[in-house]
Amino acid sequence: MYDIESFYGPNAGYVLDLYERYLQNPSSIDTETRAVFDSWLQNGHNDHASTEARPRTVDTLALSSSSLQQADAPLQTDMPQPVNEGVAPQVSQIVAASALAHAIRERGHLGARLDPLGSEPLGDPALLSETHGLTDEDLAHLPPNVVGGHSAEGAANALEAIQTLRDMYSGTISYEFDQVKSPAERQWLRDAVGLRLYHSMPNPIEARKLLKRLTQVEAFERYLHQTFPGQKRFSIEGTDALIPMLDEIIHAAIDSETRELIIGMAHRGRLNVLAHILEKPYGAILTEFGHAKREEGVPLTDTFGFGWTGDVKYHLGAEYILGEGTSHVDLKIVLAPNPSHLEFVNPVIEGMTRAAQEIRSVTGPPLLDVDHTLPILIHGDAAFPGEGIVAETMNLWQLRGYWVGGTIHIIVNNQLGFTAGPEDSRSTHFASDVAKGFEIPIIHANADDPYACLTAVRIAHAYRDNFHKDILVDLVGYRRWGHNEGDEPAFTQPQMYDVIRSHPTVRELFAQRLEREGLVPKEESDAMLQDAFAVLEQAKRDADSGAYQTDPTEQEGANGHSIEVASASNVSAEQLTHWNQELL
């Protein structure tokens, strides 16, 4: 027997018209067609005159045409209960509601609340009910199944389903999946969103732990700012959630029995990553600040604080061994040195990952274990579309000779490239748009919502784990200070920095949220901050007492694990000098 999914395009519209006539007067259509419509009635609704009956997949019909095929999940087949007794939904309203739902799934990111500073999203007329000739009252009189997908589950009517859909796709997290060509991958991504598989809200213990982490991140930056005013550190402030996001990826990687995680990033937030992800001791970092090289005639704001390698402290790499999780597998975390030229580290990380994944214990062609090593690339919002090496590296990601089983990309998006706004530094709306050409799914998250940020990386890791392909998270935040801490950003962005100066920090907003929810009182969150400052004060006293070397080859991490800051060379200085002279 035919069901509603058997009809497409003009035929579908014709069948809907017949069905509406059938609901009003079953004898007005021919016997064979009436028998088909009779089969659509379920759950005891066999009275032809009843206007409560609906086709069991009326939402599927509206989404069957080529322009309305996507949904956030397999479409529902349960017959909806009547919303307005005695009134059959108009065909035009059913089609309009389905079109609105499709627009939200496809372009909801254009209306998402992604900017912590409160700027209005670009928007799209297709996201508005009135564009489709609908009012809230119209939607309230339609069954939820006309919206389709998981958003219809548990909704009383189409209005509630649309509101749920807006929360899914146009909140503080949003998605771009349509560029993904694989139907199976698109469906997996829609299910991840619609079923909220990775949206679990932390329990009180986890929420308190997240607040403590954000407190450590903020306290570290504030302490450096107060103790070494004017020295460059390229603060993470405004995108503080990057650290909990990396924590989340690390824990997921351990549970997946990943053995090595390799991170590539530039200078922005690097010191915070070294301190809190690589566990480089606070005292070691403070020692580097305290022993900043001072050149005659060079102002304090231009002193770099060279490490023993001759490189600046915010370019240094490190390694760290972490052992925790359900699998009891140690995870080696590597932060590659920053080569200074923006994004140049991308192919370096991919090459390091590929080398680590190759199984060299057996003879013959090299075998790859892509689950052994996970690469993470942290980009800048101006550099991602601006540096050609980004696209060049992504172009290699599915080639046999370069495939590494997928990279997790994170754009640390502070909405500025040095002093240039997006309108002066790229031709696309989103910093992430370049990735769409490589069929990479994109998740945008508001950096002021830590829960949204954690959801984004949970989905990202699970996608990489399942499909071994690249995925990108666009972390939309801001930059609390200038490009470096010696710059005055208000010279070039006065209006933006008027907003930033009065904008609460990520930690402050999250602490206020937990206080409202009755999870963490203000006194406790304030005490967390004071405790974090106390730890830093003790580290400063240790640094001042000479407890840390300024030129170590290896230092001890906060939990006793060794941190390789750099490797000692087996080549003598005399030999290096000789080679240098020969090359001149």
Does the structure show a pLDDT above 90 at 63?
A: no
What is the mean predicted confidence (pLDDT) over 273-297? 79
Cα dihedral 553, 557, 563, 566 sign: negative
How far is the C-alpha of 402 from the C-alpha of 33, rounded, in Å?
58
Q: For residue 131, what are the CA distances in angstroms to 97, 99, 128, 365, 476?
A: 11, 10, 5, 59, 29
CA 533 and chain centroid, separation? 29
Whether domain 204-278+344-546 has CATH 3.40.50.970: the reply is yes
Bigger pLDDT: 187 vs 567: 187
Rounded to 10°, the helix 183-194/158-169 angle is 110
**Contacts of residue 31, Cβ cutoff 8 Å, sequence gap at least 6:** none
Give me 423's structure tokens: 């309108």
**For the chain, what are the domain ranges?**
4-182, 204-278+344-546
pLDDT of residue 118: 93
Lowest-confidence segment of 227-241, 317-331, 346-360 by average pLDDT: 317-331
Name residues whose C-beta falls within 8 Å of residue 514's C-beta, 6 or more positions apart in sequence.
207, 208, 211, 520, 525
3-class SS shares of the chain: helix, strand, coil, % to 5? 45, 10, 45
SS (H, E, C) 566-581: CCCCCCCHHHHHHHHH
Residue 337 has pLDDT above 70, yes or no: yes
Which pLDDT score is estimated for 313? 67
Reading phi first (left if > 0) and then psi (alpha if -120 to 50, else beta), residue 133 is in left
| 451 Cβ contact list (under 8 Å, min separation 6) | 199, 201, 202
Q: Band the pLDDT of 436: cuts 50, 70, 90.
A: very high
The Cα–Cα gap between 182 and 351 comes to 27
Strand ranges (E), 432-543:
442-446, 471-476
CA-to-CA separations, 78 to 38, 81, 478, in angstroms, rounded:
16, 9, 46
> What SS3 class is residue 237?
coil
Q: Determine the residue type at 323.
A: G
- Which tokens belong to 534? 């106390």
pTM: 0.79
| Contacts (Cβ under 8 Å, ≥6 apart) of 538 | none
HSE-CB at 223 with a 13 A cutoff on CA atoms is 25
Q: How many residues belong to the chain?
A: 584
Strand partners, 264: 377
Q: How does residue 76 score in pLDDT terms, banded at 50, 70 and 90? A: very low
Q: Which two tokens stand for residue 308?
A: 């023993």
